[in-house]
Amino acid sequence: MKKRILLGFTVITSVFFIWSGYAVHAGELKHDANAAKKLEIIRRNLSGLTEMKSADAKKYYNEALNDLNTLIGKYDGTEEAREAKFFMGAAHNEMHNFEEAIKCFDTVLGQGNMERNFKARTLYFKTKALIGKGDIATAKEVVAELRMIEPRAAEAFSNELGGMLRIGMEAPTFNVADVNGNPVDLSKYKGNIIIIDFWATWSDPCLQEFPNVKKMYAKFKGKGVQFLGVSLDDDIEDLRGFVKQFDVEWPQIFDGKRWAGEIPSLFHIQATPTMFVLDRENKVRYIGSDTESITRIVTTLLSESKDMPLFR
């Protein structure tokens, strides 16, 4: 299911890159013929990247982002500059830079009147970014707005959002063994703050965020905070090699099934990294990948009660 969702996302992204934007008429922003020609070249290049593996396409996405940013600076105040910002958001989505994608789409939505279809496309992609970030509550709000413009597009999210974990819900339990054969029973960690990190050694965003995760682990080690890693790697030796090389101390769970694995399926994982913070009652208090936000939330949770943690 997760692979189908992600594949659908890529296919839809490709369609939007192919979409030329010629039908967009904001009514307030002027058009510039030179900007339109340059934007068309960038758009054509972007449309081909969706067929490449993310690691191979990363360099070209970054080049496209630089070109789009240059276009926006040179033709600020034009409809083409707004379209360029939309394409920047779509590119960030493909790279799983969901925070940046949301900022781009918010900029597009905040620039005056918009043609109906263009607004629907922007809301659709913003919803995808919010889901990737793990902000399900806000995603539902955006879907409600999208439903008023394009009900069929909004309906595409109904099943996806309906069964997802949300802030305040109790996390599903699991009882498995880690890569070293040690039992990992989530219910037995009750009474501690729990951080579950869904990640993979093949994920560039995970590797970029890893130093911050390790720093966060060091900050909370021995303070009643239990870290758990759930790897979406294909090969257990890739995981073991990384754990050994970077001295990863917290338990790692692996089943070699990526998105279709038992625990990623339980937690509806659609992007890596995705981290969950569970309070002492195993209720979800955060979903996302921002280690600064996680640090603040965990610090607050630790201050809420001075009860002795069950595990150190």
CA neighbor of 209 nearest in space, from 96, 125, 312, 128? 96
Predicted local distance difference test score (pLDDT) of residue 123: 94
Predicted local distance difference test score (pLDDT) of residue 216: 95
Alpha-carbon distance 80 to 41, whole Å?
12
Domains of the chain with bracketed CATH? 2-162 (1.25.40.10), 175-304 (3.40.30.10)
pLDDT (tens place) for every residue of the chain, 312 residues total: 333 334 344 444 444 444 434 344 444 678 999 999 999 999 888 877 766 666 677 888 899 999 999 999 999 989 999 999 999 999 888 887 889 999 999 999 998 788 888 999 999 999 988 877 767 778 889 988 998 898 888 877 765 565 566 778 888 889 999 999 999 999 888 889 999 999 999 988 899 899 999 999 999 999 999 999 999 999 999 999 999 999 999 999 999 888 888 899 888 887 888 899 999 998 898 888 888 889 989 999 988 755 434 333
Alpha-carbon distance 108 to 239, whole Å?
40
Inter-residue contact 280 to 162 (CB < 8 Å):
no
pTM for the full predicted model: 0.56
Alpha-carbon distance 236 to 220, whole Å?
27
How far does the chain reach from its first CA to its final CA, in angstroms? 37
Alpha-carbon distance 78 to 30, whole Å?
5
CA 199 to chain centre: 12
Predicted local distance difference test score (pLDDT) of residue 132: 76
* Sign, Cα dihedral of 22, 28, 29, 33: positive
Inter-residue contact 92 to 124 (CB < 8 Å):
no
Q: For the chain, where are the E strands, in sequence order? A: 175-177, 183-185, 193-199, 225-231, 252-254, 274-278, 284-288
Inter-residue contact 135 to 143 (CB < 8 Å):
no
